[in-house]
Amino acid sequence: MSVVDIKDLSVSFSTDAGAVRAVDGVSLTVERGEVLAIVGESGSGKTVTAKTILGLLPETATSSGAVLLSHAGGEGSTDIVAVGRKGLREVRGTDVAMVFQEPSTALNPVYTVGWQIAEGLRAHGKVSRRQGRALAIEILRKVGIPDPEKRVDYYPHQFSGGQKQRVVIAMALVLNPGLIVADEPTTALDVTVQAEILDLLRQVRDEFGTAIVLITHNMGVVADLADRVAVMYQGKVVEQADTRTLFTSPQAEYTKKLLAAVPYVGQGVAGAAVRAAERAGTASEALVTADGLMIEYPGRLGRAGFRAVNGVSFEIRAGEVLGLVGESGSGKTTIGRAIAGLTQATGGSLKVLGTEMVGVRERDFKPHRVDIGFVFQDPGSSFNPLLTIAQCVAEPLIVHGRADSAADARGRVDELLEAVQLPRAFGDRYPHELSGGQRQRASLARSLALDPKLLIADEPTSALDVSVQARVLELFRDLQKELGFAALFISHDLAVVDILADRIAVLYHGDLVEQGTGAEVLGAPQHPYTRRLLASLPVPDPVVQAERREALRALRAEESLSGRSQ
Amino acid sequence: MAITASAPKRRLVDRLPVVHQLRQSVGLQRGMLVAGLIITTIFVILAIFAPLIAPYGFAQLRDASGAFGAQQPPSAAHWFGTTVGGYDVLSRVIWGTQTALLVIIIAVVLSIFAGVLLGLVSGYIGGWLDRVLVVVADAVYAFPSLLLAIVAAIVISGGQSNQIAGVFAAAISITVVFIPQYFRVIRAETVRIKAEAFVESARVIGASNSRIMFVHVFRNATRTLPLIFTLNASEAILTLAGLGFLGFGIEPSSAAEWGYDLNKALSDVTSGIWWTALYPGLAIVFVVLGITLVGESLNDLADPRLRGRRSVGAASGEVAQTSVVPGGVIDVPGGMGTLEEPGDGGSDR
The 10s digit of each residue's pLDDT in A326-346 is 888 888 889 999 998 888 888
pLDDT higher than 50, residue B83:
yes
Does B307 reside within a domain? no
**In the predicted model, what is the mean pLDDT of residues A167-184?**
90
- Kindly state the greatest CA–CA separation across chain B: 91
Between chains, do A341 and B6 touch, taking CB under 8 Å as contact?
A: no
Given a contact cutoff of 8 angstroms between Cβ atoms, the answer to whether A539 and A264 are in contact is: yes
Question: What was the pLDDT predicted at A456?
Answer: 93
Between chains, do A380 and B346 touch, taking CB under 8 Å as contact?
A: yes
- Partner A, chain B 8-67, Cβ-Cβ below 8 Å: 24
Indicate the pairing of strand A228-233 with strand A236-242: antiparallel
* A352 and A455 part of one domain: yes
Does A117 reside within a domain? yes
- Domain termination residue (choose one: A118, A150, A176): A176
Interface A-B: count of C-beta contacts within 8 A: 221
Looking at chain A, the whole-number percentage of residues with pLDDT higher than 70 is: 96
Residue A198's contacts (CB-CB under 8 Å, 6 or more residues apart) are A186, A221, A224, A225, A538
Between chains, do A390 and B3 touch, taking CB under 8 Å as contact?
A: yes
Does A500 reside within a domain? yes
Closest CA to A451 of A479, A488, A411: A479
Does B209 reside within a domain? yes
Does A68 reside within a domain? no
Residues spanned by the domain of A400: 269-539
Distance from CA of A41 to the nearest CA of B (A): 7
Between chains, do B315 and A423 touch, taking CB under 8 Å as contact?
A: no
Question: What was the pLDDT predicted at B336?
Answer: 36
Does B342 reside within a domain? no
Closest CA to A22 of A53, A55, A62: A62
Question: What was the pLDDT predicted at B313?
Answer: 62
Given a contact cutoff of 8 angstroms between Cβ atoms, the answer to whether B220 and B152 are in contact is: no
Distance from CA of B169 to the nearest CA of A (A): 38
**Whole-number mean pLDDT of chain B?**
77
Does A231 reside within a domain? no
Which position has the higher pLDDT, B70 or B201?
B201
Distance CA A106, CA A166 (A): 12
**In the predicted model, what is the mean pLDDT of residues A215-230?**
90
**Confidence at B320, pLDDT banded by 50, 70, 90:** low
Does A263 reside within a domain? no
**From B206, B331, B334, residue closest to A421, measured CB to CB:** B331
Between chains, do B1 and A405 touch, taking CB under 8 Å as contact?
A: yes
Does B203 reside within a domain? yes
Which domain CATH number covers B225?
A: 1.10.3720.10
Residues spanned by the domain of B43: 19-61+78-302
Between chains, do B208 and A424 touch, taking CB under 8 Å as contact?
A: no
Distance from CA of A238 to the nearest CA of B (A): 13
Between chains, do B322 and A406 touch, taking CB under 8 Å as contact?
A: no
**From A16, A438, A446, residue closest to B24, measured CB to CB:** A16
Closest CA to B48 of B93, B98, B96: B98
**Is B312 within 8 Å of chain A by CB?**
yes
Given a contact cutoff of 8 angstroms between Cβ atoms, the answer to whether B80 and B279 are in contact is: yes
Between chains, do B315 and A64 touch, taking CB under 8 Å as contact?
A: yes
pLDDT higher than 70, residue B110:
yes
Residue spans of alpha helices (H) in A381-465: 389-399, 410-419, 436-447
**From A421, A428, A465, residue closest to B3, measured CB to CB:** A428
Question: What was the pLDDT predicted at B334?
Answer: 35
pLDDT higher than 70, residue A140:
yes
Does A485 reside within a domain? yes
Q: Using the Cα atoms of residue A156, residue A377, residue A197 and residue A94 in order, give the sign of their dihedral.
A: positive
Does A566 reside within a domain? no
Does B328 reside within a domain? no
- Partner A, chain B 168-187, Cβ-Cβ below 8 Å: none
Q: What is the CA radius of gyration of chain B?
A: 26
**Confidence at A565, pLDDT banded by 50, 70, 90:** low
Between chains, do A471 and B330 touch, taking CB under 8 Å as contact?
A: yes
Does B218 reside within a domain? yes
- Partner A, chain B 315-334, Cβ-Cβ below 8 Å: 315-328, 330-334
* A146 and A277 part of one domain: no
pLDDT higher than 80, residue A183:
yes
Distance CA A483, CA B107 (A): 57
CA atoms within 13 A on the CB side of B41: 7
Among A395-399, A464-468, B263-267, B268-272, the range of highest mean pLDDT: A395-399
Between chains, do A342 and B203 touch, taking CB under 8 Å as contact?
A: yes
Between chains, do B313 and A12 touch, taking CB under 8 Å as contact?
A: yes
> Domain total for chain A?
2
- Domain termination residue (choose one: A176, A200, A227): A176
Closest chain A residue to the Cα of B221, Cα to Cα: A386
Question: What was the pLDDT predicted at B161?
Answer: 58
**In the predicted model, what is the mean pLDDT of residues A538-561?**
83
Does B320 reside within a domain? no
Per-residue pLDDT tens for A465-494? Answer: 887 888 888 888 888 888 889 999 998 888
Does A243 reside within a domain? no
Question: What was the pLDDT predicted at B348?
Answer: 36
Given a contact cutoff of 8 angstroms between Cβ atoms, the answer to whether A370 and A401 are in contact is: no
> Domain total for chain B?
1
Which domain CATH number covers A410?
A: 3.40.50.300
Per-residue pLDDT tens for A495-521? Answer: 888 888 888 999 998 899 998 888 888
